[in-house]
Structure 1
Amino acid sequence: MRAYLLVMLIAAAVTYLATPGARWVARRTNAISAVRARDVHLMPTPRLGGLAMLLGIVVAVVLASQMPFLEPVFATPQVLGIVGGAAIVCLLGWADDVWDLDWMTKLAGQILAAGFMALNQVQLTTLPTPGGLTIPSARLSLFVTILVVVVAMNAVNFVDGLDGLAAGIVAIGGTAFFLYTYSLTQQASPTDFASIATMVTAVLVGVCLGFLPHNFYPSHIFMGDSGSMVLGLVFAGAVISVTGQIDATVTDAVSGAQRAPLFIPLLLPLAVVLLPLLDMTLAVVRRLAAGKSPMAPDRMHLHHRMLALGHSHRRAVLILYVWTAVFAFGTVAFVEWRWQIVVSWLGVAIVVALVLTLGPLRTRGRFLDDDVASGTIPVAATVGASYPSSPTPDPKEQDVVRPDA
């Protein structure tokens, strides 16, 4: 555990120290989020935080490769596949932030990055279900892998709409996934706790924690496409790499309620990215129903709805953190405790989250009001409201693939 925590700390420190440099590069290359009529933020803000995240990932992985404890992790090219894929989408996001690429070019770049991971053995060959569902052909395996990675990248990008939202959600969900993969490694290899998924998730959580001080409201820099796509790809890589640790040959001997934990490898990744996936799904359905392109930007994302309920910028972000923690840690709890106990406490947690979301915090008191942080007088929160000095990522960062960017 100490080695993983050290890797996490290195990733956080490098990302935190490199972020001012990423702001400088963003200004020099004109990678700035301009203010448009449909935006929430009112001040142009640099958006190349992904460069600092990538540097944090690379440095942490290089130093981890020198640790004897983690040496078995680098016996296969999987780590290279994940880091290389992250570098591809980071450069792709940088190019889009500077030159405003069309949606086909961006989708092609995402497929290229996912394909690079698959060529380096980061590929789904089985689905982690009780009984182990094997993907029948190499071509279908490649297709499913690319689909999972591309969906993960775009899901994180869709939810990146308020200061600190995407980084915080990935950090919280990644922590839950880290605890699960570490526990799984302990059970699978009692004498060797080295795990690709655990190390990669530790790095992922570290870069998010290192970036958050710069990105939480009021933000000084956005992660941009270069950051959101990196987070989605790295998390997908960790999820795919852990499926190889599931021994499907022992699942047939388990029956009844004991089979519930066997679904965790499939359910936990979904729980971690539940909010991004829900936001992306609702956006696509909403736009298609309105006769628009599924990638056309709008102001009806989950975070916009939180503002419309009356929450401040910071309060909306923290409540969405709570929802992420409820589902991610609630799913992990099924591994350690009986399902009856977990369901009971999960019900209580959901009620608390609902009270925070729909309760008196929306309209009463000044708890976590934005003017406390920014020194400004907040404007009433509506779907079309703007907060003074509130640098919120523009819809371009939320919708990776769109025709009218």
Structure 2
Amino acid sequence: MRIYLLLMAVAAVVTFLATPLARVLAQRTHAITAVRDRDVHTVPVPRLGGLAMLIGFACTLTIASQMPFLQPLFTGSTERLPWAILVSATVVCLLGVADDIWDLDWLTKLVGQVLAAGFLAWQGVQLIQFPIFGLTIGSSRLSLVVTVLVVVVAINAVNFVDGLDGLAAGVIAIGGTAFFAYTYILTRGDTPSDYSDLPTTIMACVVGVCLGFLPHNFFPARIFMGDSGAMFLGLTMSAASIYLTGQIDPARLDTAFPAFVPILLPVAVLILPLLDMGLAVIRRLKAGTSPFHPDRMHLHHRLLDFGHSHRRAVLIMYIWTAVLAFSAVSLAIPGVPVPVLVVGIAAGIALAVWATVRLPRQPLPKLGR
């Protein structure tokens, strides 16, 4: 665990130090988010924060490759996989940088995302089986298509939820921490003599870069992650999820609901971005517009319209992410009785509902003379 926490700290520090450099570069290249009708910020803000995240991730992964504890991940049959994830993450990040500077059209971005996801699958990070009901993808071509689809959906889900200061980075940090805990618990139970694990390593790096970026990005933000950051986070999260999900034998899991946990957790981690994206696509198609046509009806916008402040809306999204993600992780903890899990999950949901509901202020009664 200490090695993973060290990687997380290194990623946070490198990203924190690299973010001001990304901000300067954004100002010099005019990668500035102007104030539009649908936006909630009131002054132009530089973007390209994803470039700092990529630097933090790349430096930390390089350091990890030199650690004896993690050496098995960078040799043998998995030797290509960490670098394949890094290359794909670099491709989508640079694609996002181009979009942050020149404002690319949605088709160009989609083609770039598909190519990055295709390279990831070609190098071996591919969804081969679902650890539920023994379902296996029998065709290599279908496996490639499903992998690309999952990666592209995750990339755009994170991009859709990136609408308030600190929202996307915080949601991924919280959900990623839950995912990190799950992969670590799974690794300890599966291979007690060797705790080195690729998804755990990737998630430690991802959580670290989010934590390092948040001090610059939380309200009021001095820099946005932009499409470069959102696409980077979506790809790395999906890569870790795909690799983990495709490698699990549910029969080996000693959990309350073994068959459902591996496929449930990646969804629970990204449930809010996925829900927001799904509602947006349905809403825009019903209105006769493109699914990529921006509007001001995302979940975070509705929280603001409900009367919550900017920071409170972000914190509410944090709470919901934590409840859903850690509830899924709790199912993977061996030896915990089901009633205890149910009570804990119910208490978390009650807390999230209480934080979300904003009761109208009642006027004070007038006092007579």
TM-score (norm 2): 0.94
Code of the residue aligned with 1:302 in structure 2: it is L
Cα distance in 1 for residues equivalent to 2:292 and 2:224: 21
Displacement, 1:90? 0.6
Cα distance in 2 for residues equivalent to 1:115 and 1:198: 23
Kindly indicate whether the alpha-carbon contact (under 8 Å) linking 2:7 and 2:64 is maintained by their aligned counterparts in 1: yes
1:18 aligned to 2:18? yes
Cα distance in 2 for residues equivalent to 1:243 and 1:349: 26
Kindly indicate whether the alpha-carbon contact (under 8 Å) linking 1:188 and 1:245 is maintained by their aligned counterparts in 2: no
Kindly indicate whether the alpha-carbon contact (under 8 Å) linking 2:250 and 2:259 is maintained by their aligned counterparts in 1: no
| Partner of residue 7, structure 1 | 7
Code of the residue aligned with 2:152 in structure 1: it is V
Cα distance in 1 for residues equivalent to 2:304 and 2:140: 46
The alpha-carbon distance between structure 1 residues 197 and 363, as it changes in their structure 2 partners (threshold 3 A), is: farther
- For CA contacts below 8 A with separation 6 or more, give which structure has more relative contact order: 1
| Partner of residue 341, structure 1 | 340
| Partner of residue 311, structure 1 | 308
Kindly indicate whether the alpha-carbon contact (under 8 Å) linking 2:130 and 2:246 is maintained by their aligned counterparts in 1: no
Kindly indicate whether the alpha-carbon contact (under 8 Å) linking 1:78 and 1:120 is maintained by their aligned counterparts in 2: yes
1:28 aligned to 2:25? no
Displacement, 1:71? 0.4
| Partner of residue 91, structure 2 | 88
Partner SS state of residue 335, structure 1: coil
Partner SS state of residue 188, structure 2: helix
Code of the residue aligned with 2:261 in structure 1: it is I
| Partner of residue 231, structure 1 | 233
| Partner of residue 100, structure 2 | 97
Kindly indicate whether the alpha-carbon contact (under 8 Å) linking 2:256 and 2:331 is maintained by their aligned counterparts in 1: no
Give CA deviations for 1:131-180 in whole Å, capped at 9, x if unaligned. Answer: 3x210111000000000000000000000000000000000000000000
Cα distance in 2 for residues equivalent to 1:49 and 1:22: 6
How many residue pairs get aligned? The number is: 357
1:352 aligned to 2:351? yes
Cα distance in 2 for residues equivalent to 1:230 and 1:161: 16
| Partner of residue 197, structure 1 | 199
TM superposition outliers: structure 1 runs of 4+ over 3 Å: 248-251
Map 1:341-380 → 2, pairs under 5 A: 341-360=340-359
Kindly indicate whether the alpha-carbon contact (under 8 Å) linking 2:216 and 2:222 is maintained by their aligned counterparts in 1: yes
Give CA deviations for 1:339-391 in whole Å, capped at 9, x if unaligned. Answer: 3221222112111211111134x759xxxxxxxxxxxxxxxxxxxxxxxxxxx
Cα distance in 2 for residues equivalent to 1:347 and 1:249: 27
Cα distance in 2 for residues equivalent to 1:62 and 1:287: 42
1:143 aligned to 2:145? yes
Displacement, 1:290? 1.6
Map 1:106-145 → 2, pairs under 5 A: 106-131=109-134, 133-145=135-147
Code of the residue aligned with 2:36 in structure 1: it is R
Kindly indicate whether the alpha-carbon contact (under 8 Å) linking 1:128 and 1:265 is maintained by their aligned counterparts in 2: yes
Cα distance in 1 for residues equivalent to 2:221 and 2:94: 22
Kindly indicate whether the alpha-carbon contact (under 8 Å) linking 1:48 and 1:223 is maintained by their aligned counterparts in 2: yes
1:73 aligned to 2:76? no
Partner SS state of residue 194, structure 2: coil
Cα distance in 1 for residues equivalent to 2:322 and 2:169: 13
Give CA deviations for 1:80-130 in whole Å, capped at 9, x if unaligned. Answer: 111111100010001011111111110000001101111211111111224
Code of the residue aligned with 2:196 in structure 1: it is A
Kindly indicate whether the alpha-carbon contact (under 8 Å) linking 1:178 and 1:202 is maintained by their aligned counterparts in 2: yes
Cα distance in 1 for residues equivalent to 2:39 and 2:188: 47
Match of 2:219 among 217, 220, 223: 217
Cα distance in 1 for residues equivalent to 2:95 and 2:252: 42
| Structure 2 unaligned blocks of 5 or more | 363-369
Cα distance in 2 for residues equivalent to 1:37 and 1:283: 17
| Partner of residue 282, structure 1 | 279
Kindly report the root-mean-square deviation, in angstroms, between the aligned alpha carbons of the 2 structures. Answer: 1.5
Map 1:252-331 → 2, pairs under 5 A: 260-331=257-328
Q: What is the aligned-residue identity percentage?
A: 60
TM-score (norm 1): 0.86
